[in-house]
Amino acid sequence: MTADAPPSVDSVTEQTFIARVLGADRSALEAKGTAGLRSELMRVLREAVRMGRLAPGVRLPSSRSLAADLGLARNTVADAYAELVAEGWFIARQGSGTRVAQRAELPRAESRRATGLAPLRTVRPRPAHNLMPGLPDLSTFPRADWLKSSRRALAAAPNDALGYGDPRGRVELRTALADYLARARRVYTHPEHIVICAGFTQALKLVGEVLRRRQAREVAVESYGLDVHWRLLADAGLHMPCLPVDGSGARTGNLAGMRGVGAVLLTPAHQFPTGALLHPDRRAAAVDWARSTGGLILEDDYDGEFRYDRHPVGALQGIDPERVVHLGTTSKSLAPGLRLGWMVLPESLVTEVVETKGISDWSASALEQLTLAEFIESGAYDRHVRSMRLRYRRRRDQLVAVLAERAPEVRVSGVPAGLHAMLELPKGGEALALRAAAWQGLALEGFSRFRHPDEAPGRDALVIGYGAPTDSAWAGALEALCRVLTQMP
Amino acid sequence: MTADAPPSVDSVTEQTFIARVLGADRSALEAKGTAGLRSELMRVLREAVRMGRLAPGVRLPSSRSLAADLGLARNTVADAYAELVAEGWFIARQGSGTRVAQRAELPRAESRRATGLAPLRTVRPRPAHNLMPGLPDLSTFPRADWLKSSRRALAAAPNDALGYGDPRGRVELRTALADYLARARRVYTHPEHIVICAGFTQALKLVGEVLRRRQAREVAVESYGLDVHWRLLADAGLHMPCLPVDGSGARTGNLAGMRGVGAVLLTPAHQFPTGALLHPDRRAAAVDWARSTGGLILEDDYDGEFRYDRHPVGALQGIDPERVVHLGTTSKSLAPGLRLGWMVLPESLVTEVVETKGISDWSASALEQLTLAEFIESGAYDRHVRSMRLRYRRRRDQLVAVLAERAPEVRVSGVPAGLHAMLELPKGGEALALRAAAWQGLALEGFSRFRHPDEAPGRDALVIGYGAPTDSAWAGALEALCRVLTQMP
């Protein structure tokens, strides 16, 4: 869209390079006398990397052709490349020429300038194969249907929908969600108990703040989960004792013995990352605990629509709407980029949450909310979920079948659901597999990465996200995974 | 949009009523024996109000016609209406039949159920005339152009734009903004120092958190401003000493004498609500203070594009990009409902802000960000701002002219800019005017409403938002204002 946007291709042709990368600096370059040329070229190239005009992993033109194009001696360019390789800006690989290094490899001296960029996702290198858990297949986003819904929603929107909104979010969306969640997830609620958020993280942050105001000190969490969620709760000043997780989900029976716990964060439909379904007895135990102690259950229903062997098990919220905060988003069903999520609240919590949210009022875009409402009402959401369910189910079946054939010692655990599966490995296998995966350029996660600090090291396993790749990339990713697993001793 | 959405018309025809309002409950109703009929009908109607299927203010069908339609005795319906009026659910007005009451009028016994709703904007009664400051004319939102930009942006978006985003926001938007802000506001920055937020409030919340982490205790604010901003900073644990405001803006010279102040929140282009432009000497004083103490200037540029007598004065940020955090949004220029804003950060602050934001990552919708980028790049944003500038300027000129003729004792103060003007009244005039305005059904604000707690009571004045009304409503609102001002003793 703009001249400054990083080239999307993975190599830069000389012309692009001159136009996009050097840009105005070219003249500065040409102004220099021969002496300063090399260092000036280096400065320009460093700046191009810093400014993102040269994205990590991009291949640079050969020193010969760039030199010809800039009217410099080839050695000047070759030396500049060499020094930047030495400094860690570029990488020279046999056969693949000179490439821009990953930011992580920036030399210490540069780290201050670089820190603004280093932690950001967008500048991460693209792996050759992506099996990271937690991502849907973004290529399947129903752009045409979504645009149609935007058009309808925008045409129907009253003017004041464009004003400062109700902190709960648009009533049209809350109404559509109340219907949908009742239908799809057996959630029992009505629109005025739903609050729209910018994704799950905002919802959890809000609940954390409310719990803190209610003098809660601790929120129990599952012994395996996402550290970003734990950090959010910690930021709210909460401690997080953990419940052991096994094949039947979290041991919610332990809650009875925990003092000072005001809430418990669970993934009942599909424990992340083990993939376990919370056992009926443990659902009951959680609800009994909540009722007897006045505690809250935070139900993270992140991929509840995706069950492949049966109709999805109804949400825990349906059992006791007054004790369960049901949290969902469109991040797995549509796209995380929409930043749309919802909290289904016990009536007793609505006012506090709305007031807490109302202060900062960082609600989602009204137009996006109206678009999603229309998207759901029109049936497009159900259609999309159905087709994604088939797609992901196919992938999971292929994963299971291929592994059974080529890596029979690897066990796929967890219920057939969601966008990820856990592969249990022989003792010591996880570290080996991760190293092998790195060599294959295959991005995936190890089970231990999700372990709660208080939990003792457990099984060796991999967490495979089969949602992430596009259909065309899926076969290659699966093949890479097999190579990783078969290469292991 | 949905069967459950409140009818947009202000009265409900019998058919709509049966279909939308009673819906499934009709059968429940028909199942009842005569005895329970009235109470059952009341239950159904109460629920319809609670669920928002009957919106506040909606006129109900006559008891005669509803009775006929439901096959009930007219008295059954009439009695049910009467009791619900008695309970405070409905209101019966001479001539206008029976209407749903405003939620605020729910009887005490119901207030617990109602608390979730009471404080929310959407259920406030609509005033006859709206001159509230802080709102643009929402009827002018360029729906067609925006939709065109959405279509283009969605077509051009790479798949991974739909993934979990860079906490800074989309590079396309940051790049477009860097250009635009340099052009329109003389802001000196580049894309990697810009962070996209969900409006000004999120930006201020983030800066507040970062200041707190830096051990700042106090943020100086202007002696007149928005209490919601003060609350945000207070929530971050900051104290807020204030700088007196006069015709030349905030007395930034006082900063030198204030100990422990880590930052100052200013509205340099158009002080809110006095409308003063920050005097050059005071701009210099603020920057000198920031440089000598290492303090930060938070520049709230909420309506900087709207200056009517000259080219807008450049942003303070241009003077010292390393000491000023420049904050802007589309809330005044396009619509608050977009929840799109930006922070232009000193390089030294980027990492902390991005990390603080990254934890919760409540960034705005990627599609909305790409749409705004395209909207700016296509020139539609400049066109829209230009046409709004003409529209608001015309309104401000009319306001000044009409008041000069009909209320010559009222002085319009502040520079000709933005979406609001301050009307200075004779001593004691503010309270009288507010009361008169209430009688006229005219919504506006009194000056004292924006006074900082530490500030002594000041002039009597009104703050008039001439942005809020539509073109068709503007004349009526202006006339109502004149009646208010001329009715005063």
Interface mutation target, options B49, B160, B360, B369, chain A, most CBs of A under 10 Å:
B360
Report the complex ipTM: 0.74
The minimum CA-CA distance between A351 and chain B, rounded to whole Å, is 5
Residue length of chain B: 489
Note whether A212 and A235 are within 8 A (CB). Answer: no
What are the angstrom distances between the C-alpha of A227 and each of A126, A134, B235? 23, 13, 25
Tell me what the mean pLDDT of segment B115-121 comes to: 36
DSSP codes joined into one string, B445-474? EEGGGGB-TTSPP---EEEEESSSS-HHHH
| DSSP summary character for residue B99 | E
A303's tokens = 């991929």
Residue A97 pairs with which residues in a beta bridge? A93
Residue with the bigger pLDDT between B51 and B113: it is B51
Tell me what the mean pLDDT of segment B63-74 comes to: 84
Distance, in Å, from the CA atom of B33 to the CA atom of A127, rounded to the nearest integer, reads 69
CATH architecture of the region B143-379: 3-Layer(aba) Sandwich (3.40)
Note whether A362 and A205 are within 8 A (CB). Answer: no
Using CB atoms, pick whichever of B154, B160, B172 lies closest to residue A138: B160
Sheet-wide strand order for B461-465? B411-413, B420-424, B461-465, B445-446
- Maximum mean pLDDT: which of A24-28, B1-5, B283-287: B283-287
- For residue B347, which residues of chain A lie inside 8 Å, CB to CB? 116
Distance, in Å, from the CA atom of B50 to the CA atom of A189, rounded to the nearest integer, reads 12
What's at A304, amino acid-wise?
G
A79's tokens = 């030396």
- For residue A176, which residues of chain B lie inside 8 Å, CB to CB? 1-2
Cβ <8 Å between A190 and B51: yes
What pLDDT is stored for residue A253 in this prediction? 96
What pLDDT is stored for residue B1 in this prediction? 38
- For residue A198, which residues of chain B lie inside 8 Å, CB to CB? 198, 362-364
Distance, in Å, from the CA atom of B317 to the CA atom of B296, rounded to the nearest integer, reads 11
Interface mutation target, options B162, B170, B227, chain A, most CBs of A under 10 Å:
B162
Q: pLDDT tens across B320-335, in order? A: 899 999 999 999 999 9
Cβ <8 Å between B4 and A119: no
Note whether B455 and B224 are within 8 A (CB). Answer: yes
What pLDDT is stored for residue A125 in this prediction? 60
Residue window 409-428, chain A: list those with CB within 8 Å of chain B: none
pLDDT band at A36 (very low <50, low <70, confident <90, very high): confident
Residue with the bigger pLDDT between A121 and A318: it is A318
pLDDT band at A1 (very low <50, low <70, confident <90, very high): very low
Cβ <8 Å between B1 and A373: yes
pLDDT at A113 over 80: no
pLDDT at A107 over 60: no
Q: How does A386-424 read in b/e, with b if 16+ C-beta sit within 10 Å? A: eebbebbbebbeebeebbeeebeebebebbbbbbbbbbb
- Maximum mean pLDDT: which of A159-168, B54-63, B172-181: B172-181
Note whether B343 and B208 are within 8 A (CB). Answer: no
pLDDT at A449 over 90: yes
pLDDT at B5 over 50: no
Q: pLDDT tens across B337-357, in order? A: 999 999 999 999 999 999 888
Tell me what the mean pLDDT of segment A326-330 comes to: 97
Cβ <8 Å between A192 and B228: no
Cβ <8 Å between B122 and A171: yes
Residue window 29-68, chain B: list those with CB within 8 Å of chain A: 50-52
Distance, in Å, from the CA atom of B488 to the CA atom of B486, rounded to the nearest integer, reads 5
What pLDDT is stored for residue A33 in this prediction? 60
Q: What are the helix (H) ranges across B120-239?
A: 143-156, 171-185, 199-213, 227-235
B111's tokens = 């207030």
A129-137+383-487: CATH superfamily: Aspartate Aminotransferase, domain 1 (3.90.1150.10)
What pLDDT is stored for residue B100 in this prediction? 83
B322's tokens = 């390393």
What pLDDT is stored for residue A434 in this prediction? 94
Mean pLDDT of chain A: 86
Note whether B376 and B385 are within 8 A (CB). Answer: no
> Nearest-CA residue of chain B relative to A365?
B338
Q: pLDDT tens across B445-457, in order? A: 999 999 999 999 9
Q: How close are the terminal C-alpha atoms of chain A, in Å? A: 48
The minimum CA-CA distance between B401 and chain A, rounded to whole Å, is 29
Between chain A and chain B, how many beta carbons pairs sit less than 8 Å apart?
Answer: 246
Distance, in Å, from the CA atom of B226 to the CA atom of B201, rounded to the nearest integer, reads 11
A36's tokens = 């300063």
> Nearest-CA residue of chain B relative to A147?
B151
Residue A298 pairs with which residues in a beta bridge? A265, A325
Interface mutation target, options A49, A51, A103, A164, chain B, most CBs of B under 10 Å:
A164
What are the angstrom distances between the C-alpha of A289 and each of A222, A257, A265, A282, B487? 16, 10, 13, 10, 64
Residue with the bigger pLDDT between A8 and B73: it is B73
pLDDT band at B47 (very low <50, low <70, confident <90, very high): confident
B158's tokens = 């790479």
Q: Is the dihedral of CA B449, B450, B454, B458 positive or negative?
A: negative
Q: What percent of chain A has pLDDT over 90?
A: 61
The neighbour count for residue B436, using CB atoms within 10 Å, is: 19
Q: Residue B256: in which H helix or E strand, if any? A: none
B10 lies within 8 A of chain A by CB: no
Distance, in Å, from the CA atom of B77 to the CA atom of B92, rounded to the nearest integer, reads 14
DSSP codes joined into one string, A290-324? HHHHT-EEEEE-TTTT-BSSSSPPPPGGGT-TTTE
What pLDDT is stored for residue A12 in this prediction? 63
Using N-to-C axis directions, what is the helix angle for A143-156 and A366-377, rounded to 10°?
A: 110
CATH architecture of the region A14-114: Orthogonal Bundle (1.10)
The neighbour count for residue B153, using CB atoms within 10 Å, is: 26
Distance, in Å, from the CA atom of A161 to the CA atom of B15, rounded to the nearest integer, reads 27
pTM: 0.76
pLDDT band at A121 (very low <50, low <70, confident <90, very high): very low
Interface mutation target, options A362, A363, A372, chain B, most CBs of B under 10 Å:
A362
Cβ <8 Å between B192 and A51: yes
| DSSP summary character for residue A255 | G
Distance, in Å, from the CA atom of A42 to the CA atom of A23, rounded to the nearest integer, reads 14
Note whether B130 and B474 are within 8 A (CB). Answer: no
Cβ <8 Å between B337 and A366: yes
pLDDT at A117 over 80: no
Distance, in Å, from the CA atom of B253 to the CA atom of B292, rounded to the nearest integer, reads 13
Residue B239 pairs with which residues in a beta bridge? B218
What pLDDT is stored for residue A41 in this prediction? 85
- For residue A163, which residues of chain B lie inside 8 Å, CB to CB? 135, 138, 335-337
Cβ <8 Å between A178 and B360: no
What pLDDT is stored for residue B164 in this prediction? 84
pLDDT at B110 over 50: no
Q: What are the contacts of A411-416 at 24+ separation with CB within 8 A?
A: A413/A247, A413/A274, A413/A275, A413/A461, A414/A270, A414/A271, A414/A274, A414/A275, A414/A276, A415/A270, A415/A275, A415/A276, A415/A277, A415/A307, A415/A309, A416/A307, A416/A308, A416/A309
Using CB atoms, pick whichever of A228, A339, A359 lies closest to residue B235: A359
Distance, in Å, from the CA atom of A43 to the CA atom of A85, rounded to the nearest integer, reads 13
Cβ <8 Å between A143 and B155: yes
Residue window 433-472, chain A: list those with CB within 8 Å of chain B: 470
Using CB atoms, pick whichever of A336, A340, A374 lies closest to residue B1: A374
What are the angstrom distances between the C-alpha of B280 and each of A360, B248, B253, B283, B348? 32, 9, 12, 5, 26
Distance, in Å, from the CA atom of B331 to the CA atom of B197, rounded to the nearest integer, reads 12
> Nearest-CA residue of chain B relative to A152?
B1
What pLDDT is stored for residue B23 in this prediction? 65
pLDDT at A122 over 70: no
What pLDDT is stored for residue B20 in this prediction? 65
A21's tokens = 């990368």
Using CB atoms, pick whichever of A1, A178, A362 lies closest to residue B199: A362
pLDDT band at A7 (very low <50, low <70, confident <90, very high): very low
pLDDT at B217 over 60: yes
A178 CB burial (10 A radius; 0-12, 13-18, 19+): buried
What pLDDT is stored for residue A123 in this prediction? 40
Distance, in Å, from the CA atom of B404 to the CA atom of B410, rounded to the nearest integer, reads 8
**Poorest-pLDDT segment among A242-256, A264-278, B89-103:** B89-103
B175's tokens = 């790049």
pLDDT band at A14 (very low <50, low <70, confident <90, very high): low
Distance, in Å, from the CA atom of B426 to the CA atom of B320, rounded to the nearest integer, reads 41
Q: pLDDT tens across B418-440, in order? A: 999 999 999 999 999 999 999 88
Residue length of chain A: 489
A135 lies within 8 A of chain B by CB: yes
Distance, in Å, from the CA atom of B30 to the CA atom of B7, rounded to the nearest integer, reads 24
pLDDT at A81 over 70: yes
What pLDDT is stored for residue B39 in this prediction? 77
- For residue A175, which residues of chain B lie inside 8 Å, CB to CB? 2, 4-5, 52
User: Is B409 in a helix, a strand, or coil?
Assistant: coil
B6: preceding bond cis by omega (within 30 degrees)? no
What's at B70, amino acid-wise?
L
pLDDT band at A27 (very low <50, low <70, confident <90, very high): low
Mean pLDDT of chain B: 86
Q: Tell which residue, A419, A415, A412, A413, has the closest CA to residue A389.
A: A419
A275's tokens = 């993939």
Q: pLDDT tens across A200-248, in order? A: 988 999 999 999 988 899 999 999 999 999 999 998 899 999 999 999 9
Distance, in Å, from the CA atom of B318 to the CA atom of B321, rounded to the nearest integer, reads 6
Distance, in Å, from the CA atom of A365 to the CA atom of A169, rounded to the nearest integer, reads 9
> Nearest-CA residue of chain A relative to B123?
A166
- Maximum mean pLDDT: which of A4-18, A292-306, B37-51, B81-95: A292-306
User: Is B92 in a helix, a strand, or coil?
Assistant: strand
Residue window 365-404, chain B: list those with CB within 8 Å of chain A: 365-368, 370, 373-374, 377
Distance, in Å, from the CA atom of B369 to the CA atom of B161, rounded to the nearest integer, reads 10
Tell me what the mean pLDDT of segment B90-111 comes to: 59
The minimum CA-CA distance between B26 and chain A, rounded to whole Å, is 18
A43 CB burial (10 A radius; 0-12, 13-18, 19+): middle
Q: pLDDT tens across B129-156, in order? A: 999 999 999 999 999 999 999 999 999 9
What pLDDT is stored for residue B11 in this prediction? 62
* Cβ within 8 Å of residue B338, ≥6 positions away: A162, A365, A366, A367, B330, B331, B368, B372
pLDDT at B113 over 60: no
Using CB atoms, pick whichever of B135, B235, B363 lies closest to residue A339: B363
Q: Enumerate the domain spans of chain A.
A: 14-114, 129-137+383-487, 143-379
